[in-house]
Structure 1
Amino acid sequence: MRLISNVASSNRFFTDLNSFQMQQRRTLSKLPLQANFYPMSSAAFLQDSTSRLSLLSAQSQAVASLRPGELEVVLDRRLQQDDNRGLGQGVTDNKLTASLYNLLLEDRRGGPQEVGGASVEHLSLLAHLTSLSLSHPPITMVAPSNSQVPKLRPFLPLRSSLPCDVHLLNLRTLEDSQEAESPSQEVALLLHRKGFDCSSTPEPPLQCTWSVHEEVNLDDLFSPLQFGSVRRSGLTLLREDDEPESARQQQPPHITHLRPMEISAFRVELN
């Protein structure tokens, strides 16, 4: 699939690394064709001083910019000969596969940020939200009306929206350390705060907010659940940071210091 635009991108374009950060790529004519393709986990974009063209993908594929203003995506490939990887024949039995993309064109203001002589770029806030909607579609489960399964008590979490730049990665119950395979009163909460580019402002403005003070109020989010202590932990949830006890007991419980481009893990006690 080839996308052709009038974006003056020269021989530079950007792809993401594990859906976490964007990496600048360069197309070099002295390299063979296959050496100018790079992995695209979920996003790639071209840009100049006034515009940006972002390709957001629901699946991982290879991407290149072989000419200025163009993006080329490998949807599938066929091999007529064996690749000496154990198959013993060429790959010619391709199956029809659905691919899902969103194409986003944005106006830009200001030049690129540079660190150590290299251009450092991020997706815009709108691009982040669009990419998340592709990667995490809602799952609808429907039971037949004559089902004999007992009805569960209604639970309506997330009474208010998370900040625009905070993504809820996981909220799960932790096992009781005393009784194996029994749930404890603690839950694991993993939050990812996105780093985003401020040079693009969508019109109309987004209907969510973002916290200047890098904090999240748990009582507002998960009402009617009541939370007690909040303790910062490592991503493995096997250790806890050395914080003073007064910082762990907050009423109402707040999560603070969510730094951009980082995943934070917390052990939260339910009352």
Structure 2
Amino acid sequence: NLCAVTLNLKEEALYLLIYNPTEQERFSVVSVNVNSPRVKLLSPLGKPVTVQISAVWDGATTVSHEAYQISFVAHLPPLAIGVYQLLEDESSEAVLADYNIYVRNSRQEKPDKVFKIKEMQHSVDNIILENAYMKLWFSGMSGLLEKINTKKDGRNHQMKVEFAWYGTTSNRDKSGAYLFLPDGDAKPYIFTDPPTIRVAHGKIFSEVVCFFHHVTHTMRLYKVQGLEGQSLEVSNIVDIRGEYNRELAMRISSDINSQNRFYTDLNGYQIQPRLTLSKLPLQANIYPMTTMTYIQDVGVRLTLHSAQSLGVASLKNGQVEVIMDRRLMQDDNRGLGQGVQDNKITANVFRLLLERRQGTDVNEEKAPVSFPSLLSHMTSLFLNHPVIPMTANADSGIPELLNIFSPLMSSMPCDMHLVNLRTIQGKVDNKPSDEAALILHRKGFDCRFSNRDMGLLCSTTQGKIKVHKLFSKFRVESLIPSSLSLMHSPPDARNISEINMSSMEINTFRIRLR
């Protein structure tokens, strides 16, 4: 993880190799730490790239001058590696982020030598972040989100974020690793003093960071066109290691009329409708979320995309609640033999996506499954498969070999996911054979969401892919359907020139390239 490493620019020119692990072309924001605020970044074509310089912080209010974070938008073809050149440059045109820090006792210290930092008192006025797609209002006292305005339709949506505690029952059987036995409804997370709030305004992104005792909560808005700017990035760094039999939840309360219905995914594959029933105990209304959950009404859908598996519920109309962490002191007699006391400080990352729905189907509420939109699928893909930054020195030979390595001719269809492309082990000496396994999944999506003006760089093809149009540097010699495990071939298996898949299918092929 390059975010934990500070790159030294004084020694020699550095090359950043950015790898896109998805089958889709993308514009993604990449952040790395360097040891100087005077940097110049050149794209794979040798052109200067707009860079935002952000501070690296020691705690909530102290700037570290050992490192600086640079952020830029990388444009990458599918499965591609782009080579960016990183230089120290005294005449750097990189844009510095500005900071407003809301603290309890504002003290006017000497100004920072690099960044413009303004200390101020907490206020009843809202903190506002804005990009081309939305405008956000945050509380000037807590720093938490209160309202979203979507610019395409000009509508305001109440969107209140808060935190809450669950305790455990006073009965003999208490919550443990497998059982959730709360002592009633969650109690609000109360802070006696307003938290320190740090607001950053920059060219690539702006963010609001709130420092509570048990959680550091960040909401970041990317100021870029396309997919990255259409959802809100949420991060919670949770530390409940000093607590006793408590569980921390993040709750989002909206004005969406969800009527006790919400939707969660099943192992990241299909979405199932859930119904919150008051006749059931509270714990029976909590479901696992692997990649996403959403609530909706006639006009709006609110999706919470997750980069990690957590428990989720919608206990009231228009509400989504996620259990962030649990600390439980006793075994629940289900075989583990201990409580949950090995808590680590953990970052939980989400994307909050608000979409306009165009009409509904009367039979939709009775259907056993639901589907995300294409934009939602792509948001989940990019969240769970982030670009991977790597470094190379100038003498490593890599930059002479390539500026950009791009094995696919173009993005695959929007609803087609490349699950894996790997070599198959040979039968002799465990060496790789001359065949590879190509595993594809065709996703089901909801057609009642507009795909125009969404910044998607792909299209759909009704599940058809011409095999000879897959790879740019290789010729496909043969492509033969196989069983999912590659153990068997269907009786009518033969070399095919076109892949044709139905919605929600996963297919495996043996592929030979030349």
1:130–1:150 distance in 2 versus 1, CA, 3 Å: closer
Tell me which residue corresponds to 1:254: 498
Indicate whether 1:167 and 2:410 are aligned. no
In 1, distance between residues paired with 2:468 and 2:391? 29
Report whether the alignment pairs 1:263 with 2:512. no
RMSD after superposition: 2.4
Partner secondary structure for residue 408 of structure 2: coil
Once the two structures are superposed, residues 41-89 of structure 1 have per-residue CA deviations (whole angstroms, 9 ceiling, x without a partner) of 0000001111111110000000000000000000001214332356665
Structure 2 equivalent of residue 121 of structure 1: 370
2:260 is aligned to 11
SS at match of 1:141: strand
Q: Shift in Å at residue 230 of structure 1?
A: 1.1
Provide the residue aligned with 2:380 in structure 1: 131
Question: Could you tell me how far apart the structure 2 residues matched to 1:119 and 1:85 are?
Answer: 31
Give distance in 1, aligned partners of 2:493 and 2:325: 54
Deviation at 1:31, TM superposition (A): 1.5
**Alignment partner of 2:475 out of 226, 230, 251:** 226
Higher strand share: 2
Aligned length: 262
Equivalent position to 1:56, from 261, 282, 305 = 305
C-alpha contact (below 8 Å) 1:191/1:263 kept by paired residues:
yes
Deviations 1:232-263 (A, max 9, x none): 11111111123364xx2x5xx332x2111111
Mapped partners of 2:445, 2:381: distance in 1: 13
Q: What's the CA shift for 1:221? A: 2.6
Give the Cα separation in 2 of the matches to 1:171 and 1:107: 35
From 431, 444, 449, give the equivalent of 1:195: 444
Q: Distance in 2 between matches of 1:204 and 1:115?
A: 26
Counterpart in the other structure of 2:67 = none
2:293 maps to which residue?
Answer: 44
> Partner residue of 2:354?
105
1:224–1:270: structure 2 CA closer, same or farther, 3 Å change rule? same
Contact 2:481 2:493 in 1 (8 A): no
Normalised to the residue count of structure 1, the TM-score between the two structures is 0.88
Query: What TM-score comes out, normalization by structure 2 length?
Result: 0.48
SS in 2 for 1:91: coil
Mapping for residues 209-224 of structure 1, pairs under 5 Å: 209-212=459-462, 214-224=463-473
AA partner of residue 7 (structure 1): I
Structure 2 residue identity aligned to 1:235: L
- Paired position in structure 1 for 2:95: none
- Residue aligning to 1:96: 345
Distance 1:64 1:116 in 2: 18
User: Partners in 2 of 1:95 and 1:53 — Cα distance?
Assistant: 30
Among 120, 123, 143, the alignment partner of 2:392 is 143
8 Å Cα contact 1:112/1:119 also seen in 2: no
Alpha-carbon separation, structure 2, partners of 1:40 and 1:116: 20
Structure 1 position 34, deviation (Å):
1.2
CA distance in 2 between partners of 1:37 and 1:114 (Å): 25
1:25 aligns with 2:271: no
Judged with a 3 Å threshold, the aligned counterparts in structure 2 of structure 1 residues 150 and 135 are, in CA distance, closer, same or farther, namely closer
Instruction: Tell me the CA shift for residue 224 of structure 1.
Output: 1.0
Specify whether residues 58 and 232 from structure 1 end up closer, same or farther in structure 2 by C-alpha distance, changes over 3 A only: same
Counterpart contact for 2:270–2:369, Cα < 8 Å: no
**Highest CA radius of gyration, 1 or 2?**
2
**Residues 257 and 318, structure 2, Cα contact 8 Å, conserved in 1:** yes
Distance 1:2 1:187 in 2: 45
Return the offset for 1:150.
8.5
Name the SS of the counterpart of 1:133 in structure 2.
helix
Q: Secondary structure at the match of 2:392?
A: coil
CA distance in 2 between counterparts of 1:24 and 1:228 reads: 44
Give 1:182 shift.
1.9
Unaligned 5+ segments in structure 1 are none
Change in Cα spacing, 1:240 to 1:13, as seen in structure 2 (3 Å) is same
Q: 2:283 aligns with which of 15, 18, 34?
A: 34
